[in-house]
Amino acid sequence: MSRIAYVNGRYLPQHQAAVHVEDRGYQFADGVYEVVAARHGTLVDAEAHLDRLEYSLAELHIAMGRSRRALEFVIGETMRRNRVREGIVYIQMTRGVARRDHAFPVTSRTALVVMARSQKPPSRQVVENGLKVITTPDNRWGRCDIKSVSLLANVLVKQQAREAGAQEGWMVRPDGTVSEGSSTNAWIVDGEGKLVTRDVGKAILAGITRRAVLALAEREKLEIVERPFTVAEAKEAREAFMTSTSAQVSPVVQIDDSVIANGKPGHLTRLLVEIYDNYMRTAGG
Ligand code: PDD
């Protein structure tokens, strides 16, 4: 079965699906996106993802161009046509097609692409053994709260991690604190056993998984502090992990050359892996 993509009003086999060469997403990265997980055919935290999509659009003064219900219909239809029950949906909106000029075009229609594909959750091996991360300078712009398709700095970090035999790169700000991973939020359990993740603001993306894990941790009565942490603190941490729509909760057992604790995923991390997985199974939507 060939995969079907929705592009500006049409459902097309992916090899025929294309955007205009003067789409501003292609020329200027003038657009935003979302990645949403599906479990048992239902989207997980769909409302929160669509709220964040609307936030990103509004911050860039890009019109949504259709109602939320219409967008939800297209997403559901794209999942159905691709028979996606466990997987991810990718939604991209750009400022549309216009003759190349940096300033906003006077008239352009917001372009929409939706894709859906089946994808398995992180493997048992990742959960049992954990992942390695490297640290590297955060070279991004000042509005990391916007989920912009301008991901070049993130792409370079992920590639650097791969070449170093690691799975993620944690980006470090000039003050020595970790902002986040190239496509994940970063967490540690500090020396006092508190769960620590950076507070939201312009330095990071306000992850939807981050938010759900915070709520679940609170329900478990875990001590939580939303604050920046340094690379030195992370290397001395009792536990470390990362969160995102596709990584869910993934344990981190090594940061650069430093092994975290005994090199195995920590106790709280394992608890959060379980309860978040359970949440995805049951709370989808
Ligand atoms: N990445 N930080 C960054 C820079 C991200 O790109 C992402 C998501 C996250 C986690 O956000 P969420 O929990 O809402 O997925 C944090 C997506 C999955 C991606 O680019 O594929």
Banded model confidence at residue 283, pLDDT cuts 50, 70, 90: low
Q: Which of 104, 148, 9, 149 is nearest to 65 (CA)?
A: 9
Q: 181-215 pLDDT, tens per residue?
A: 999 999 999 999 999 999 999 999 999 999 999 99
What average pLDDT does the segment 259-266 reach?
Answer: 97
Residues 6+ apart with CB under 8 A from 199: 226, 227, 228
Angle (nearest 5°) at CA 140 between 138 and 142: 115
Distance 8 CA to ligand 1 centre (A): 24
Residue with the smallest CA separation from ligand 1 atom 8 is 183
**Cβ of 179 below 6 Å from ligand 1:** no
* The token pair that represents 231 in the structure block: 């690379």
Say what the pLDDT of residue 241 is: 98
For the chain, counts of helices (H) and of strands (E): 8, 15
User: What are the chain's domains?
Assistant: 4-118 (3.30.470.10), 124-281 (3.20.10.10)
**Cβ of 57 below 6 Å from ligand 1:** no
Going by their DSSP bridges, the two strands 195-197 and 185-189 should be labelled as antiparallel
The burial class, CB within 10 Å (0-12 / 13-18 / 19+), for 91 is buried
Separation of first and last alpha carbons in the chain: 27
Q: 33-56 pLDDT, tens per residue?
A: 999 999 999 999 999 999 999 999
Q: Determine contact, residues 59/66, Cβ cutoff 8 Å.
A: no
Check whether 136 has a pLDDT greater than 80: yes
Q: Which helix (H) or strand (E) holds 123?
A: none
Q: Determine contact, residues 114/74, Cβ cutoff 8 Å.
A: yes
**Cβ of 151 below 6 Å from ligand 1:** no
Distance 119 CA to ligand 1 centre (A): 16
Q: Which helix (H) or strand (E) holds 34?
A: strand 31-39
Distance 106 CA to ligand 1 centre (A): 31
Residues annotated as part of the active site: 147
What DSSP state is assigned to residue 183? Answer: S
What average pLDDT does the segment 144-165 reach?
Answer: 98
